[in-house]
Amino acid sequence: MKEKIKLENLTMIYPRSDKGVFDIDIKIQQGQIFGFMGPSGSGKTTLIRIILGFIKQQKGNVWVNDLEVWNNNDQINQTIGFISGEPIIPNEGTGLDYLLFYAKLREIKDLTKMHQLIEYFELDAKSLIKKMSKGMKQKVAIIACLMADFDLYILDEPTAGLDPVMQAKFIETIVEMRNQGKTIVLCSHIMDEVEQLCDQVLILKHGRIMYNNTMANIKKENLTIQKIFWDIYNVKGFNETIKNQN
């Protein structure tokens, strides 16, 4: 199987701070949905920023599609679909204006997929972005990302702000993308979402990898993401409470 992303012995510490990510080794294979988990501040977004070439590590190496990231970040950025949990779209014009602008930027000529996605996610594309709710803006960001045909997608809490119906639709879309052989990195706080979707799961704590295993192995060992997560975070009694409820 082809490696899409490889991080090797990687450390990145933010300037004038002791925070960052430390001694990271990860291999993400083509066609995998790879989950990054960990509470706020554990280092998920930092890893994503490094993979996207936004920030540079002090130690170790990062490759995407066999290209070293920092020296090729323009080229790599063209090949990755990225959704951030905080939709970064300007407050100007309508949703459709933004999508058409984005299509032009990405040189997408056939807009069939864009219109299909607008319909599927039930976006009122003629609404002004400045009047949109967070969930509506998130839909615009999702449609912009998914209408271009990437091989690799990095999704940082993509369902944040979506209602349950849209969350389910988004999950269905991700599964379909995996079935087409696409690779997806999914950052999520939602344990059910990770358990349902991911082929492999990584759990971070204070910028370090505490757990990295395939869902197949997790199931074989009769474990659940919840159990592993609460054990790592030492939330005493939580697993007992769940056991008693069952």
Ligand X SMILES: Nc1ncnc2c1ncn2[C@@H]1O[C@H](COP(=O)(O)OP(=O)(O)OP(=O)(O)O)[C@@H](O)[C@H]1O
The correct pick among 1, 17, 58, 244 for binding ligand X (CB under 6 A) is: 17
Nearest distance from C-beta of residue 186 to ligand X, angstroms: 13
Coil, strand, or helix at residue 240? helix
Sole window of 14-22, 89-97, 117-125, 211-219 interacting with ligand X (rule: CB under 6 A):
14-22
22 or 120: CB nearest ligand X = 22
Sole window of 16-24, 131-139, 174-182, 232-240 interacting with ligand X (rule: CB under 6 A):
16-24
20 or 95: CB nearest ligand X = 20
Sole window of 15-23, 72-80, 100-108, 143-151 interacting with ligand X (rule: CB under 6 A):
15-23
Phi, psi for 245 (deg, rounded to 5): -70, -30
User: Residue 159: which of 202, 191, 188 has the closest Cα?
Assistant: 188
Contacts 24+ apart (CB under 8 A), 173-182: 173/120, 173/146, 174/33, 177/153, 178/31, 178/32, 178/33, 181/30, 181/31, 182/31, 182/150, 182/151, 182/152, 182/153
Coil, strand, or helix at residue 22? strand
User: Residue 28: which of 233, 235, 212, 220 has the closest Cα?
Assistant: 212
The correct pick among 14, 92, 105, 128 for binding ligand X (CB under 6 A) is: 14
Spatial CB neighbours of 160, under 8 Å, sequence gap ≥ 6 = 85, 138
Nearest distance from C-beta of residue 124 to ligand X, angstroms: 29
Find the binding residues for ligand X in span 35-94 (CB under 6 A): 38, 40-46
Nearest distance from C-beta of residue 13 to ligand X, angstroms: 9
46 or 94: CB nearest ligand X = 46
99 or 141: CB nearest ligand X = 141
Spatial CB neighbours of 131, under 8 Å, sequence gap ≥ 6 = none
Find the binding residues for ligand X in span 161-190 (CB under 6 A): none
| Residue span 112-141 as binding mask against ligand X, x where in contact by CB under 6 A, dash where not | ------------------------------
Q: Are 7 and 50 in contact (CB under 8 A)?
A: yes
If binding is defined by CB under 6 A, does position 19 make contact with ligand X? yes
Phi, psi for 55 (deg, rounded to 5): -135, 155
